[in-house]
Structure 1
Amino acid sequence: MADRYDAIVLGAGAAGLMCAARAGQQGRRVLVLEKSEKPGKKILISGGGRCNFTNIGAGPANYLSSNPHFAKSALARYTSRDFLALVESYGIAWHEKTLGQLFCDGSSKQVVEMLVVECAKGGVDIFCSEQVAEVSQEDGFTVVTHAGSYSAPNLVIATGGPSIPKMGATGFAYDLARQFGLKVVEPRPALVPLTLGGEEVLFREISGVSAPVVASVGKASFSEAALFTHRGLSGPSILQASSYWKPGEDVAIDFLPDHTGNWLLDRKRETPRATLRSVLREALPDRLADILAEKLGLETELGNASDQTLRTAEDRLKSWSFRPTGSEGFAKAEVTVGGISTAELSSKTMEARKAPGLYAIGEAVDVTGWLGGYNFQWAWASGVAAGDAIAGSV
């Protein structure tokens, strides 16, 4: 005989714990099943161990989805300020880094412990090391694991996406969604380093060099550091751009975002005996400046170069096109683009339209945030939306 609950949450990550705590504290009997040996494993490694738990500016524009409007409702009803208030109520010290990113002063463990205590306040059962063997639906949902059998009228898919498989990530959420007739938007790695080949392999020689740039893919542009690696391109601006990149597309990099107009022509008139290499070294790391000057083939003094040659160099440096050969895949991806289609879900409750009582939240859903705390905010907001719906308060 299966143990009966009001709701079963699959996955003790950020979204799952938030959902369980919310429903539990409103009187529902909730079970969380986690296949790892402890809850919140991905939270623990986030932000270099300090958990970039939200972004103070989080809004719908910071997310990718086949339906850009889907995230609006949940994000509006549970904001970054709401989560920050919860963090502060536990006395967790925090600080703001660049671009509204909020981190713990101490450790990511504090956020996991907070969520576990929140669940305890609601009488939530959290069972770890439970591998799901079967999920069925007949008079509610029944989940069979290697340790037991559990049933509930509500089932929440909060098992994330396939990014970071070494942490145990899989595509289980998608298999389960398809089992209940829900469509899945083809998942692909996001917030992931890009690889270079061909003539661009030359840039691997400056592995470890970084510089502030603007990286663009199509209409999406990100002004942060780019890092050259032994495999290609990384760093915050590249990771951001990677979420928008598809194979065969170019990534354009503005190496000199602070330089405007005909700056190189102006330098030619001011210091005609300067070289492009020496001028670039004023704004960029030496090794990067040297390789850009070499690739441009402009080794002469500026005074000996034609205005048209210098204009061409200006244009290249403002929009240097790279054609990545691929990405480093789910193994190095922080999150996943794609997932359970938002067309299948209520944006207010996260409940599946075709399968009443079935919910999908967090990274399992086709909503992907930028780098910088946005994905955690989606986890909190979508978890609250589903938790409140299960409790009947939506």
Structure 2
Amino acid sequence: MPQSKPLLSEYDVIVIGAGASGLMCALTAGERGRRVLVLDHSNKIGKKIIISGGGRCNFTNLCTEPGNYLSDNGHFCKSALSRYTQWDFQALVDKYQVAWHEKTLGQLFCDDRSQQIVDLLVSECRDVGVTIRTKTKIEGIEHQNNDRTPVYHLETSSGKFSTQSLVVATGGLSFPTMGATGFGYQVAEQYGHNIIPTCPALVPLTMSKKWLEQFAELSGVSAEVIVSCNGQSFKENLLFTHRGISGPAILQVSSYWKVNDSIFVNWLPAVSAYDFLKEAQQRRAKAETQTILAEHLTKRLANALCEHGKLRLLTESGRKAISHYSHSELEQLANEFENWEMQPTGTEGYKKAEVTLGGICTSKVSSKTFESRLQPGLFFIGEVLDVTGHLGGFNFQWAWASGHCAGQFV
């Protein structure tokens, strides 16, 4: 977006943050004839969009519904998600003839590059006269009441600007190396809003040194599993890493995991473990345990699991013939493989987290307009709010929905 034209000092709307929600809000407001300025401290528009989805941007999910979101107020997201749906954003993508495909579980990705999503948003902004200014740091925000209508004055590294509608679309704390900060939370607190404690979400989990030593050889190995924690279960891939465990199943469950919690893994999600092992006794009586398990797991993974803890004795390090198990031993083996307990030591933090859990408490924000109930003319949208989606395009859909809905009222 060209930035050489002279900037006005007064705008109808100023959006802080040139990410997914901020750009969507800006283009929606621009379509209504509002004079809009978008400010971002980064040197590039839509940085998180560009790196998302392995560079192909998982831009929405066909199965989006309120149950895919975590918040202290589970009802808050319903209105926006119903007013701007996954189909609406898909239509915008189709308008620009961006090729896409459904990967798994309703996840839509660009066939080519994530940059195409940024480009279409910038094009929409340009068409309605939105001005975008990057490399601009907000140094201070003040307001005054003119005829009972607040006017916000922004002191920035690019000059002074004022507006009657100020939108905070600054995101969370994830990816600090890309410039993520807690600035949005600071603005919210400045105007009396509470912050729900934040933590990394959709993030790899770390394991103890002892655990890592035992499973070090599995780094890079993945398997489809069911992972459960605190009443939530996800059937996707688990990936062993040099620091612990990752993969879609672990990223999903990380949003529900808390320090000292255990997670439970079903290594045989496609079958009843007991029925499978019992049938194997009839079918391959002389086969070793690790050989039987390798029918559903990789040989390396089967061997490593059989070497772990009490299973090492029960399975004789995986070499015990399947026919040699008693009924109770077979039940014990089946239970271990369907309810494998792990106790992570922590997460890999905001540096590796895809999103931030927690944020601005929604109790004092309108679910219809996204305007503060404490401070007229102040709006909060996107990840900065206490609304966090599951993995798979849900957080982008929240950005589009909240940005669009706020853009209709600023």
Helix, strand or coil: the match of 2:59? strand
Helix, strand or coil: the match of 1:262? helix
Helix, strand or coil: the match of 1:98? coil
Matching of residue 26 in structure 1 with residue 32 in structure 2: yes
Matching of residue 178 in structure 1 with residue 169 in structure 2: no
Q: 1:287 deviation in Å?
A: 1.1
How big is each residue's C-alpha offset from its partner over 1:339-382, in whole Å with a ceiling of 9 and x where there is no partner? Answer: 01111211111111101111111110111111111100000000
Matching of residue 268 in structure 1 with residue 281 in structure 2: yes
Matching of residue 327 in structure 1 with residue 339 in structure 2: no
Give distance in 2, aligned partners of 1:248 and 1:385: 39
Helix, strand or coil: the match of 1:287? helix
Q: 1:2 deviation in Å?
A: 8.2
Judge conservation of contact 1:54–1:372 (CA < 8 Å) in 2.
yes
Helix, strand or coil: the match of 1:283? coil
Q: TM-score, normalised by structure 2?
A: 0.93
Structure 1 residues 49 and 198: CA distance shift in structure 2, 3 A: closer
Give distance in 1, aligned partners of 2:30 and 2:44: 20
Helix, strand or coil: the match of 2:351? coil
Matching of residue 134 in structure 1 with residue 154 in structure 2: no
Q: 1:189 deviation in Å?
A: 0.2
Give the CA RMSD over aligned residues: 1.3
Q: 5+ residue gaps in structure 1?
A: none
Amino acid of the structure 1 residue aligned with 2:398: W
Give distance in 2, aligned partners of 1:246 and 1:155: 35
- After TM superposition, the structure 1 = structure 2 runs for residues 1-394 of structure 1, keeping only pairs within 5 Å, are 3-139=9-145, 140-197=151-208, 199-201=210-212, 202-260=214-272, 261-295=274-308, 296-297=311-312, 298-299=315-316, 300-390=320-410
Give distance in 2, aligned partners of 1:142 and 1:192: 37
Judge conservation of contact 1:2–1:142 (CA < 8 Å) in 2.
no
Amino acid of the structure 2 residue aligned with 1:321: E
Identity across the alignment (%) = 52
Q: 1:204 deviation in Å?
A: 2.9
Judge conservation of contact 1:264–1:311 (CA < 8 Å) in 2.
no
Amino acid of the structure 2 residue aligned with 1:47: G
Amino acid of the structure 2 residue aligned with 1:127: R
Amino acid of the structure 1 residue aligned with 2:112: G
Judge conservation of contact 1:36–1:128 (CA < 8 Å) in 2.
yes
Q: Which sits farther off after the overlay, 188-197 or 294-303?
A: 294-303
Amino acid of the structure 2 residue aligned with 1:193: P
Q: 1:200 deviation in Å?
A: 2.3
Over 4 Å off, 4+ runs: none
Q: 1:280 deviation in Å?
A: 1.0
Give distance in 1, aligned partners of 2:71 and 2:116: 31
How big is each residue's C-alpha offset from its partner over 1:121-151, in whole Å with a ceiling of 9 and x where there is no partner? Answer: 2211101100111011213111111110111
Q: Which sits farther off after the overlay, 298-307 or 102-111?
A: 298-307
Aligned residues: 390
Give distance in 1, aligned partners of 2:211 and 2:330: 22
Helix, strand or coil: the match of 1:5? strand
Helix, strand or coil: the match of 1:346? coil
Judge conservation of contact 1:265–1:311 (CA < 8 Å) in 2.
no
